[in-house]
Structures are given as C-alpha cells and as structure tokens.
Amino acid sequence: MIFRQLFEPESSTYTYLLGDSESGKAVLIDPAVETAERDLAVVKEYGLELMATLETHVHADHLTAALKLKQLAGSKIAGPAQDELPCTDIGVRDGTPFMVGNIELQPLFTPGHTSTHHSYLLDAGDTRRVFSGDALLIDGCGRTDFQSGDAATLYRSIHEKLFSLPDETLVYPGHDYSGRQVSTIGQEKVRNPRLGGGRSRDEFVAIMDGLDLAYPKKIDFAVPGNELCGECPPNVPDAMRKLCDVTRQG
C-alpha cells in the first residue's frame, strides 16, 4: 500500500493519498482545491490512477478539489450519503466498506462537528489508521458552534467510535495548526485538553460553549461551494476563482 500525507498551508488542511499497488487504484481523502494539481501529480508519480476523492464532511474552511479532480482525472466523488448531494457519485455509510482496489476503508459515523461527519478506519495488517477529519484533532477537536454542530453529539461520537479503537491506532486529523502530523488514540485519551483524562460530557460541553471562536473567514462561500462538490459559487473572492478553472496550470 502507498500512503502519503499532504498539506495545504493556508487552511492547514491535510489530504491523504491511499494507493493500492496491486490494482493501481488510489483515493484522496479531503483534497483542497489549492493543491489539486500537486496532489494529482503525486498520484501519477506512483503510477496510480485516481479512482475517487473521499470527503469526511462538507467543509467550511476551504473548497474541496473533488469536482476539479473529477474534471482533470475522471475520478468519482464520494462522501457521506446523508448529505444527499446531487454531485456525489458514491454515498458512503457506516458499516459499508469503501474499497480502493484491495484497500478497505471502514466509514465511521462521527457527527458533532457537522451532523453527517464521517471518519475512515484503515486496518492494514499490524497498523491501524483512522482519518478523523475534523472530529478528533491532535490535542483538540473540531468546533461545534455552526453548521449543525453539537458538542454533546461530538463527545458521544469520539468516545463511542474513536476512543473505543485500540490505543495504538494512529490518528491522522483533517487539520493541524502547529506542525504536528499524527497522534494515537491512546495519547488523545490521556492528554487531549478538551476530551482526555476522563473529562465528562458536561465538562466538554462547557469547554466548547466557552471557546468564543472567530467567524470562519471562508464559510460563506466554502459551504455552498462544497455542497456543489467544489464548484465556485458566485460570492467566491476573485483571487480564488481561478482555482476552480480546470485549464489553470498548477
């Protein structure tokens, strides 16, 4: 199996490449439009074909590259079935494996950051990885104060779906703002300042309710754009509009 962690610095977004060497098929989890051409070049460097892009949720902080990559590479667009997006080719559901050649990803329904958020578990021999999107971050978690978020729901998702995984499971988040790349379930259960050390649900809800975070600067165009799988909506800034153009050279 081929695995790469890729980074988009403006939104501190991680994109994950999983490739099956036997079939030559690949998937990109949570690709960002700013780095679409770069990520596709990495796929091709390994001699792989991009079978699909796979979203954890409808993002509020960046535009997905799903539509652009479909136009450039013919890849299918996959994401949570509950979103019911007409532009999605494959709807994923908890309990139904998502196959990339011979690679099997297990979707885990982890709502709370958004009401349809999914994480993806990869159990490859002696290494388990969970791609936790914006549900569980390194020493943190996704915010719950907009876009159908709910702190109590996120607490339940993390404890029932993620903290129930073996402690040695590697956690690959959707973002990190401090240069960190990976954690483990065991580490987050112990030292995550919002969730670790046996914090109760009420303590967690109080922490989340008291964050007083800034309004996301891209949400007004990112959410409607991502509901169209990465199409630039009318209100996207002119400086970003060129990113949606498939004729642009990266």
What mean pLDDT value characterizes the chain? 95
Question: How many CB atoms within 10 Å of residue 109?
Answer: 17
Question: How many CB atoms within 10 Å of residue 162?
Answer: 23
Answer whether residue 91 shows pLDDT above 70: yes
- Residues of the chain above pLDDT 70, percent: 98
The C-alpha torsion from 90 through 96 and 101 to 103, rounded to 10°, is 130
Burial degree of 197 (CB within 10 A; 0-12, 13-18, 19+): exposed
How far does CA 45 lie from the centroid of its chain? 23
Lowest mean pLDDT among 62-66, 119-123, 236-240: 236-240
Q: Looking at the chain, which runs of residues are DSSP E strands? A: 2-8, 13-19, 25-29, 49-54, 76-80, 90-92, 98-100, 103-109, 118-124, 127-133, 136-137, 140-141, 170-173, 183-184
Tokens standing for 128?
């388990």
Query: What pTM does this model have?
Result: 0.96
Fold of the domain built from segment(s) 2-214+222-240: Metallo-beta-lactamase; Chain A (3.60.15)
Angle at which helices 66-73 and 36-45 cross, to 10°? 50
Q: Provide the residue type at 227 as one letter.
A: E
Condensed to tens digits (0 to 9), the pLDDT of residues 138-196 reads 999 999 999 899 999 999 999 999 999 999 999 999 999 999 999 999 999 999 999 99
Residues 6+ apart with CB under 8 A from 206: none
The C-alpha torsion from 9 through 67 and 121 to 26, rounded to 10°, is -100
Condensed to tens digits (0 to 9), the pLDDT of residues 182-215 reads 999 999 999 999 999 999 999 999 999 999 999 9
Answer whether residue 248 shows pLDDT above 80: no
DSSP letters spanning 98-147 = EEETTEEEEEEE--SSSTT-EEEEEEETTEEEEEEETTEETTEE---SST
How far does CA 210 lie from the centroid of its chain? 25
Residues 6+ apart with CB under 8 A from 74: 50
Lowest mean pLDDT among 108-117, 154-163, 202-211, 236-245: 236-245
Domain extents in the chain: 2-214+222-240
Tokens standing for 241?
């509009």
Is residue 110 within 8 A of residue 161, CB to CB? The reply is yes
Tokens standing for 113?
């950051």
